[in-house]
Amino acid sequence: MRIILFIIFIAISKVSLSQFPKSGTYIYKFCDSEYNSCISTCKVVIKGDSIIIYATKELAENRTFTKEGDIIDNGVILKHMSGKWIVGKSKKDINATGIGVEGPSIIDFKKKQYWRF
């Protein structure tokens, strides 16, 4: 009986850890891939598998040509072939090269970080 419960627990844990957050509004760190550091914050709005990234006041103060409320990125949440979550424009982006740099942006749901070049 314990073994069955243990297997069920592991299966549920694995499924819940591999999924993106439920629909809602979150504050994430805005990270710059070029400098390999997080420079500010951004607002992340998730509805189903759709995602919109907005500039916060802090980001607008730290980033040229950006105003609070500007849409930084939007698209579909996809699991890239590398295993990382990305903000894609179409299902084809799961095979994109240069994610986080020339391709789709990376979003880390565990660390609450949005990576963009």
For 57-113, write each residue's pLDDT tens digit: 999 998 889 999 999 999 999 999 999 999 999 999 999 988 988 889 999 999 999
* 39 and 53 Cβ atoms separated by less than 8 Å: no
| Whether pLDDT at 24 is above 70 | yes
Chain-centre distance for alpha carbon 36: 16
Report the pLDDT averaged over residues 19-47.
95
Distance CA 109, CA 6 (A): 26
**Where are the chain's structural domains?**
22-116
Tokens of 34: 């070029």
Q: Which of 1-10, 23-32, 59-68 has the highest mean pLDDT?
A: 23-32
| Percent share of the chain, pLDDT over 70 | 85
